Amino acid sequence: MQKIEFLVGSEKRFSEFISNLNEKDKIALISHSKDIDGIVSAKVVSSAVNINLIKFVDYNELNNSLLNELRKNKINKVIATDLSAETNFFKELEKFSDILIIDHHQFKEDSNTKNTKFLNAQGLCAAYISYCLFSKIK
């Protein structure tokens, strides 16, 4: 396995998010639906973390309807794979949930905040990044 060079985020931030998960958390997994990268990323994550809700979405589905569904299901942790962090959706989501975003797309700004752990490594697919990270915990 090659060492991942993150442009933003780090393995430490990943570990912080994962180590803070507990049995009381309601965890959603949101992944890109338009290609195999999002689907494989979701499979990797769901094999390592107990997920309460899985959503495969395209960017136009990152909207108020999805936010309302997550609120209704009392989701307080979200793992997003193969989705760019540069959407208003994630800014609204972090008002009621902690977020881990694993991505490889180009971005303009570092979206890391107190509630959002954004990991981005370009030149690798999100599925491989997810595999490298989650294989260390399972």
Per-residue pLDDT tens digits for 34-72: 889 999 999 999 999 999 999 999 999 999 999 999 999
Residues 6+ apart with CB under 8 A from 137: 18, 48
What number of other Cβ atoms are within 10 A of residue 30's Cβ?
Answer: 28
Kindly tell me if the per-residue pLDDT of 2 is higher than 80: no
Look up the pTM and report it. Answer: 0.96
- Helix locations, the chain, DSSP H: 11-19, 36-48, 64-72, 88-93, 126-134
- Residue 77 tokens, joined: 């942790």
pLDDT given at position 87? 83
- Cα–Cα separations (whole angstroms), residue 24 to 1, 7, 21, 38, 52: 33, 32, 8, 26, 11
